[in-house]
Structure 1
Amino acid sequence: AKMVRISVLGDALKTMYNAEKRGKRQVLIRPASKVVIKFLSLMMKHGYIGEFEYVDDHRSGKIVVELNGRLNKCGVISPRYDIGHNEIEAWVARLLPSRQFGVIVMTTSAGIMDHEEARRKRVGGKVLGFFY
């Protein structure tokens, strides 16, 4: 069951990345998952996508995402490396083009959050993915 989840997020991000590259304003993501929704919430909070809406299709659900042209790259990190809060900086350097922008998404004991929040809370966890 674990592998499925990783690829659900991976597929969602790939779909968005491709739509963004083609200049689409809107993209449909399916299936939906809690992880995908949380990941999108962080993207929205940081201004990389517009609004998104969950649509219940009586299967696994789907999400309609408004793109705003700000997303350059996004992806999952697999395997999900375990990192301590003191290692976050190194991962920022490795994954993001600059420390001024871009976000690493982590799953921690305190929930799914961006690397800045993880650093503030001094929690480590697993790296889910990134976007910038």
Structure 2
Amino acid sequence: MVRVSVLNERACTMLRKEGNDRAGKIVVELNGRLNKCGVISPRFDIGVKEIEPWTARLLPSRQFGYIVLTTSAGIMDHEEARRKNVGGKVLGFFY
């Protein structure tokens, strides 16, 4: 069982990854209500200073919702990335 802390703490739990290739599927179980989610393609590189403009662009308000980033320190939300002072690639968002 694989768990991603940002999704587990916020809205859902990652149960398992199906398939061994790069385009495998991830099975997710929702723990709460999810109003909207989206995937950002292509995966844009953003630095720590660019997190705030992306948050304003993708989320309905400053304290509502999360942007999911993949960084050198692992997959995390935008708040944790800002605390750890790391940038990365934008995977998607949910609120």
Question: Normalised by the size of structure 1, how large is the TM-score?
Answer: 0.58
Question: Alignment partner of 1:54: what SS?
Answer: strand
| Bigger relative CO (Cα 8 Å, ≥ 6 apart) | 2
Report matched runs for 1:60-75 at 5 Å: 60=19, 63=27, 65-68=29-32, 70-75=33-38
Identity %, equivalent residues: 64
User: Residues 71, 84 of structure 1: CA spacing in aligned structure 2 closer, same or farther, 3 A cutoff?
Assistant: same
1:92 aligned to which of 49, 55, 58: 55
* Aligned-partner Cα distance in 2 for 1:91–1:62: 25
- CA deviations 1:34-86 (Å, max 9, x no partner) are 7xx53xx423301x23x55438xxx6286362453x20011110000000000
User: Residues 79, 131 of structure 1: CA spacing in aligned structure 2 closer, same or farther, 3 A cutoff?
Assistant: same
Which entry has the higher C-alpha Rg, 1 or 2? 1
* Aligned-partner Cα distance in 1 for 2:26–2:67: 24
Bigger strand share: 2
Bigger helix share: 1
Is contact 1:108-1:125 (8 Å) kept?
yes
* Aligned-partner Cα distance in 2 for 1:64–1:124: 25
- In the TM superposition, residue 106 of structure 1 has moved relative to its aligned partner by 0.4
Question: Normalised by the size of structure 2, how large is the TM-score?
Answer: 0.78
Is contact 2:7-2:14 (8 Å) kept?
no
The answer to whether residue 73 in structure 2 is matched with residue 110 in structure 1 is: yes
Gaps of 5+ in 1: 1-33
- CA deviations 1:1-32 (Å, max 9, x no partner) are xxxxxxxxxxxxxxxxxxxxxxxxxxxxxxxx
Is contact 1:43-1:131 (8 Å) kept?
no
Is contact 1:92-1:104 (8 Å) kept?
yes
Gaps of 5+ in 2: 20-24
* Aligned-partner Cα distance in 1 for 2:28–2:85: 34
* Aligned-partner Cα distance in 2 for 1:107–1:64: 18
